[in-house]
């Protein structure tokens, strides 16, 4: 049926869709948008990306910095994870967990990670003052 068929080519980062008029439309995915959080309080959930109905979020990159206020003798454990709500500290599915030391910087690009439909993308840290930017876009299918 028109409007219901969708094909996604993750290698070429393109999608094809049949329009309501029977036309095949091929287009690149949307551009990545930045979602920034200054995780300034330890053991607090920070929501990066809320879910959208009938859409998936695709993570294309993550940039992190543990600033000068991170404890000099203990690394900050940073989690990026899927959760059931924007304030949920319970990790439903872990995207990644990493330790960062004072003044550490970490770019994770390029990525192509699909977040489960209906899940919030949250982050948390065991030490304050970790800055994180998640980049990505929503796809319909």
- Please report, in tens digits, the pLDDT of each residue of the chain (141 residues total): 444 455 555 555 566 777 788 887 766 666 889 999 999 999 999 999 999 998 999 999 999 999 999 998 999 999 999 999 999 999 999 999 999 999 999 999 999 999 999 999 999 999 989 999 999 999 876
pLDDT at res. 81? 98
Task: Indicate whether 119 and 101 sit together in one domain.
Answer: yes
Task: Indicate whether 67 and 127 sit together in one domain.
Answer: yes
Count of C-beta atoms within a 10 Å radius of residue 33: 13
Task: Indicate whether 77 and 91 sit together in one domain.
Answer: yes
3: containing domain: 1-29
Question: Are 71 and 127 spatial neighbours (Cβ–Cβ below 8 Å)?
Answer: yes
Task: Indicate whether 51 and 7 sit together in one domain.
Answer: no
From the centroid of its chain, how far is CA 57? 7
Task: Indicate whether 42 and 74 sit together in one domain.
Answer: yes
Task: Indicate whether 92 and 44 sit together in one domain.
Answer: yes
Task: Indicate whether 16 and 45 sit together in one domain.
Answer: no
Task: Indicate whether 6 and 39 sit together in one domain.
Answer: no
pLDDT at res. 10? 53
Task: Indicate whether 67 and 115 sit together in one domain.
Answer: yes
Task: Indicate whether 72 and 134 sit together in one domain.
Answer: yes
Task: Indicate whether 53 and 106 sit together in one domain.
Answer: yes
Q: What is the CATH number of the domain that holds 80?
A: 2.60.120
pLDDT at res. 139? 86
Task: Indicate whether 20 and 40 sit together in one domain.
Answer: no
Number of domains in the chain: 2
């Amino acid at each position: 049926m028109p409007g219901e068929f969708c094909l996604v080519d993750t290698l070429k980062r393109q999608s094809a869709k049949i329009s309501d008029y029977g036309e095949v439309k091929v287009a690149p995915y949307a551009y990545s948008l930045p979602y920034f959080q200054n995780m300034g309080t330890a053991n607090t959930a920070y929501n990066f990306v809320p879910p959208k109905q009938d859409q998936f979020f695709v993570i294309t990159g993550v940039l992190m910095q543990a600033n000068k206020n991170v404890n000099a003798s203990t690394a900050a454990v940073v989690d990026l994870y899927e959760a059931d709500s924007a304030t949920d500290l319970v990790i439903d599915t872990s995207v990644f967990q990493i330790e960062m030391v004072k003044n550490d910087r970490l770019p994770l690009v390029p990525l192509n990670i699909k977040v489960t439909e209906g899940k919030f993308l949250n982050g948390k840290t065991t030490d304050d003052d970790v800055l994180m930017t998640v980049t990505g876009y929503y796809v319909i299918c």
